[in-house]
Chains A and B, each alone.
Chain A
Amino acid sequence: MHLPLTSQIINLLAALLLLLSFSMLTQRRILSLINLFALQGLTLTLAILVVAWSTGQHHLYYSAALTFVLKVLVLPGVLHRLIRKLNVKWDVETLINIPTTMLVGIALVILAFNVALPISQLAGTIAKSTLGIALACVLLAFLTMITRSKAVPQVIGFLAMENGLVFAATSATYGMPMVVEFGIALDVMVGMVILGVFFFQIRERFESLDIRHLEKMKDE
């Protein structure tokens, strides 16, 4: 099968995204997790740029710029500062062991491809074949959130999920309207600020960021 070059590049970047999602799922160290997140953001930016260049959609350039500033520069920076302040650079334990997580992740990817198949046949975009990968990224990020017991990796999982969403939007419909994209970006920023406050509150209360302590707050 012969594909144009841009399509091939997009597929390559999509594969990279999926790979990064898997590595985030298996990564134990918070510091590396943040770096992987930044790398994922960079890959996403490149993918959007390629789509924008090949289709001539101007608003995708803004979208790429927004992604770059937010996901590659600002949020990783904030997270780095956070873990320095909270002093939680070391390994984190996952709730389920890593091989099991990997197997579940593979099952999820298969599911995502199956689900995305009818939708990507409807879409007429250049990157339509990558919709399954985008959905898989979302699900894997969700799984990352579930399997972590510390607060910071959960937040990173949440942010990675947002990455997957942006990629899905780009590949299915050439991105969301600018207003929506700005809104999401703002949400992510605000969410980050609130979660940062929560980190400090949780640590002050329990002397630890392990959210298992929160179980005690359940109303019996």
Chain B
Amino acid sequence: MPGALQLILGVILAWLALGLAGVFYPRNLYLVSRVLFPAGALGALALAAAALSALGGVTQSVVLPLGLPELPFHLRLDALSAFFLLLLGTVTAGISVFAAGYFRQGEGTAPGLQCLYYHVFIASMALVLLADDAYAFMVFWETMALSSYFLVTSDHAKAEIRRAGFLYILIAHIGAIGILLCFGLLHGTGDYTFDTMRAVQLAPLWATIAFALALFGFGAKAGMLPLHVWLPEAHPAAPSPVSALMSAVMLKTAIYGLLRVLFDLLHTQVWWWGVVILVLGLATALYGVVFSAVQTDMKRLLAYSSIENIGFILIGVGLTVTFQAYGMRALAALALTATLYHCINHAYFKSLLFLATGSVLHATHERALGKLGGLIHRMPWVAWLALIGTLAIAGLPPLNGFVSEWLLLQAFLFTPNLPQPYLNMLIPVAAAAVALAAALAGYVMVKFYGVVFLGQPREPSLATARDAGIWERIGLVWLAGGCLGLGLAPVWVIGVIDSVSGQLLGKTLGASATGWMFLTPISPDRASYAPLLFLLVILGVWALTWLAVRRFYHGQMHRAPPWDCGFEAQTARMQDTAEGFGQPIRQVFEPFFRMQRELPTPLDAKPRYRVSVEDHLWYWLYLPIVKFTQTISRVVTLLQRGRISVYLTYSFVTLLVLLLFVR
């Protein structure tokens, strides 16, 4: 009977084999979409099952006979890895099935090559989660970045996609430098295994520097402010299954890395580290949600929404660090549970929504919100399943988004007096900001769903849109089912998360104390939540209303043309647009944006309205860096005159100076 780790390695090998099979038949769409991708999905399920079985069990480790001499790859499967592998496996299963129906001939890279990059990408993510020494971690981390770069630029004929890919790989590498330096600090004087790092006791200053480097490196991958700029470019550029995979799983590997360094490798936590993460997370969440409210491209909107969700997750991490540093273990466990819960929730609903946009994109060839609308009639499957994702991401009960946001707010609200007075003042403000961001997220989702699926079609070409195929439907149903299940069975999920909290914090939440029905994070008399009861009540109210309407209004209804507001003909152009819906937010949060507007005059015969919303940070932070780099390179180019005598003079002068100095 092989162990769970062996099974997972087998799945990873199988994925690599599937990818290689795609290389040999790059143009064979039938093979790729009917055999390779579904097989990959089955592998993902097997991986998830193995990870689940390993969650409660003992830690397993193995040394692979790969890598450099004297420097083999160490792998280890503990509760934290297993939890993220569970996330990876279950979500990837849905995305792979969807991808089986998504990739087509003639869209950028050949399907076989896509299959290779895709499977290398998921295999490297799984290996990142398993790595147990810095060397293996960095190798897999970079493999992940490179394979996803090729996936992002699969439509590389377009200049803006190449640009997005470049930005992505640049920031990924800058982040990787941070991680590398962090490991360099952590390992002390021993070798590079994580076991050595666990044993090293760093001085507080060095531990803080290591923390800052880890936050920088993993933050760059996660899309933390101000390193987020690649995210809204790369996600829309990639094919939809890839955007889903990047947003759902790859961002979580960064969270995994941060948790691994903070709670496993560093032996200590300092309270203000938590405050730093908390503040950055708050900024990220607010920034992401405000920007996503004004987007007019559906994938960009979702990308900014990913930034917001990463902000929520970072807030949870920050709270956990602070509580843990003060020895409040029960609260730390609560915050960590909320964090991990939100990780898995975001993975499900964001991949569901990205895949839904993929289906819409294939059916309509349109990404701009201003040209969509009314698709619920044409694409009922996609529309109804996307509705589940939309409600989940908006944080409505009884779906999964509610549970984690509720837990996070509980962690805020039940904060007893912390020893720091300023912190006590900060926490309620932060809680209010979290609530604001969550509410705005609801607003954004109303905009997304309303503009894309409801109302009337804004373009005549939308009439020919066709619903998703069977493979895409299976993938969407799987993910939507996940959103429902995670929302309805929080006690079970928290039971799974408890083994992670037990490993990292030495304390579990133990939410199932009052039975499987009620979720009571602190104590039953403070707050509890019963999703099944909630669902039953909703269903009951709905059924009663339906019955009442049937009974009392039946037969009294008569159909008539709706009141047309005095307009003789209503066209689809009279609907609220994406710009119009986002306008109040744009007004309220005007200082956030760098806006350019062109308003037409009333006398204009062909009025055009144009507004562009850009990121201040790009101009304040990134362009100065670019300019600085260019200046430096220009100065350095002055050395290069292209004349041999000048080059000889350089060495001559160097020789003379050295002679004088050595004397």
Contact = CB atoms under 8 A, between A and B. Distances in A.
Interface of A: 95, 111, 114-115, 118, 139, 142-143, 145-149, 154, 211-212, 214-219
Interface residues of B, number: 14
B640 A142 contact: no
A212 B645 CA distance: 9
A180 to B, nearest CB: 20
Which 4 residue pairs of A and B lie closest in terms of their CB atoms, listed nearest first? A218-B642, A215-B642, A146-B648, A115-B659
Contacts of A95: 645
A115 B657 CA distance: 11
Interface of B: 640-645, 648-649, 652, 655-656, 659-660, 663
A218 B656 CA distance: 27
Given A146-B648, A214-B643, 8 more contacts: A111-B659, A115-B659, A139-B652, A139-B655, A145-B648, A146-B652, A211-B643, A218-B640
B644 A214 contact: yes
B647 to A, nearest CB: 9
Contacts of B640: 218-219
A217 B644 CA distance: 12
Contacts of A139: 652, 655-656
Nearest to B659: A115
A114 B652 contact: no
B643 to A, nearest CB: 5
B655 A211 contact: no
A115 B660 CA distance: 7
Determine the main DSSP class of A at the interface with B: helix
B663 A217 contact: no
A83 to B, nearest CB: 19
A73 to B, nearest CB: 28
A146 B649 contact: yes
Contacts of A146: 645, 648-649, 652
13 contacts: A111-B660, A114-B663, A115-B660, A143-B652, A146-B652, A147-B645, A148-B645, A214-B643, A214-B644, A215-B642, A215-B643, A216-B642, A217-B642
Nearest to A118: B663
B656 A149 contact: no
A154 B655 CA distance: 18
Nearest to A158: B648
Contacts of A149: 645
A145 B644 CA distance: 9
A139 B663 CA distance: 16
Contacts of B659: 111, 115
Contacts of B655: 139, 142
B185 to A, nearest CB: 38
A28 to B, nearest CB: 16
B652 A211 contact: no
Nearest to A145: B648
B105 to A, nearest CB: 40
Nearest to A219: B640
A111 B656 contact: yes
B644 to A, nearest CB: 5
Contacts of A214: 642-644
Contacts of A142: 648, 652, 655
Interface centre among B655, B659, B660 (most CB of A within 10 A): B659
Nearest to B649: A146
Nearest to A147: B645
A114 B663 CA distance: 9
Contacts of B643: 211-212, 214-215
A114 B644 CA distance: 29
A4 to B, nearest CB: 29
Interface centre among A139, A146, A215, A218 (most CB of B within 10 A): A146
B289 to A, nearest CB: 46
Contacts of A145: 645, 648
Given A111-B656, A143-B652, A154 B642 contact: no
B644 A211 contact: yes
Contacts of A215: 641-643
B319 to A, nearest CB: 53
B649 to A, nearest CB: 5
Nearest to A217: B642
Contacts of B648: 142, 145-146
A20 B656 CA distance: 22
A111 B645 CA distance: 21
Contacts of B645: 95, 145-149
Interface centre among B640, B645, B656 (most CB of A within 10 A): B645
Interface centre among B640, B641, B644, B659 (most CB of A within 10 A): B644
A214 B645 CA distance: 11
Contacts of A147: 645
Nearest to B644: A211
A217 B663 CA distance: 39
Contacts of B660: 111, 115
A22 B640 CA distance: 30
Nearest to A95: B645
